[in-house]
Amino acid sequence: MTELIDHWIAGAPAGATPERTGAVFNPATGERTGTVAYADGSDVDAAVSAAAAAQREWKRASLAKRSSVLFAFRELLNAHADELAAIVTAEHGKVLSDAAGEVQRGLENVEYACGIPNLLQGGFSENASTSVDVHSTRQPVGVVGVISPFNFPAMVPLWFAPNAIACGNSVVLKPSEKDPSAALFLARLWQRAGLPDGVFNVVQGDKVAVDALLEHRDVKAISFVGSTPIARYVYETGTVHGKRVQALGGAKNHMVVLPDADLDLAADAAVSAGFGSAGERCMAVSAVVAVDPVGDELVAKIAERMGKLQVGDGRRSCDMGPLVTAAHRDRVASYVDAGLSAGAELVVDGRGVDVDGAEGGFWLGPTLFDHVQPEMSIYADEIFGPVLSVLRAPTYDDALTLVNANPYGNGTAIFTENGGAARRFGEEVEVGMVGVNVPIPVPVAQFSFGGWKDSLFGDSHAYGPDGIRFFTRTKVITTRWPDPSHGGVNLGFPQNS
């Protein structure tokens, strides 16, 4: 029997063995390593009830108390970062250095949330009207549901939970059923940090658990990261049930390379951003737009670097690990056939790659296509794997038109040594996050993460200032303490005077 990975409700693992379960694998070996519980409506009810009860007390905790818990959690997370990274690698497959980077980026958001006494400062206007003072506060929304994806099982929960908790909310996290253990590790760290039981809960499972969170009357807000079709579904279903929703969807991230760019730098960036985490990143570069006449030279440099990558077990000294499941590996590999059928030039074929790992692992090597056209599925679809497409553009304007015509608007980058061109691109491109000679422009914690168009549903980006606004409601209080010597009835409409 494999280990049962259960829920975490009110500060403890949930009870009995469930009727519905799923398998958890080590992607580098193909071996089943665990069995994860799938929540039903009663499990979600129990978690939300525990969260609602705990939140009634937690919201009354002083900002000093909340920040002390955040600081303690930060120290514990930092001390146990290697353990958490190993859990991520064991269930997701990404190499250990990549998993460690994921934990570090999550830690930055915890550090941001530690400043909650400053982040929740309101405004005050004395004598806004005669003897009338007005002040504003930001108060928690209540129980928050967080639905996180398989590709960042530690970082994405840390995008949302620290800010939500610091603002006085409680959290019910539904992690991906593909790599569920990182969420339980975080739950135990929160408890050790002094967070009251019930403020952070975990329900494992599939669409049944997602729908239960989206429809539950006591869940007031939903934070989601995943594919665009599911993000749209989460947004529409959650808002119909009266919740505020931030749903971050998919991407087709372009890297535009102008003729004046440092092509060695650009080639390094394309390989790093295209094949890190086996391309299973919503900020991965999946389309390189080479502006004439640099295409041939750039493709040659990218292919040369790809030939030096070692694919294998993430626990070894490899550059790229496996894909998360066999089914996902097969889906991504099918796009190689589709690209060939559509007439794209296959420069590097990742099928049948030599690996430093077990034969049963979910392997697919880095793959490169050239002369890709916009109507091809390898360009139009979010593949979410190690498949990089190169498109050619005659001019900067053609490249910009290509990027802006894409339905996704998550991240983009331009490589150039021309400051004017970079500035113009930053102004004109219709994408939420832009890098200049930076291939993966994920904002630091003091800013907010989020795309445009079909990459975001809702008005709020993730973490940073947007995160604080999303997890709070503004209240404005108008006060007058009458002078005892003045009074009398006045039936006129109140005037500012």
Kindly list the catalytic residues.
282
Q: What are the DSSP E strand ranges found in 143-191?
A: 143-147, 170-174
208: tokens are 């049944």
Are the CB atoms for 118 and 99 separated by under 8 Å? no
361-370 per-residue burial string, b: 16 or more CB within 10 A, e: under 16:
bbbbbbbbbb
Are the CB atoms for 370 and 398 separated by under 8 Å? no
Burial class (CB in 10 A: 0-12, 13-18, 19+), 384: buried
Are the CB atoms for 432 and 246 separated by under 8 Å? no
Report phi then psi at 109, rounded to 5.
-70, -30
Euclidean distance between CA atoms 360 and 310, whole angstroms:
17
N-to-C CA span, the chain: 76
188: tokens are 């135990």
The angle subtended at Cα 17 by Cα 15 and Cα 20, nearest 5°, is: 125
Listed residue (156, 182, 164, 65) closest to 113, CA to CA: 164
Write out the DSSP string of 73-136.
HHHHHHHTHHHHHHHHHHHH---HHHHHHHHHHHHHHHHHHTTHHHHT---EEEEEETTEEEEE
Euclidean distance between CA atoms 238 and 29, whole angstroms:
38
Listed residue (420, 408, 488) closest to 453, CA to CA: 408
DSSP state of 276: G
Euclidean distance between CA atoms 255 and 94, whole angstroms:
23
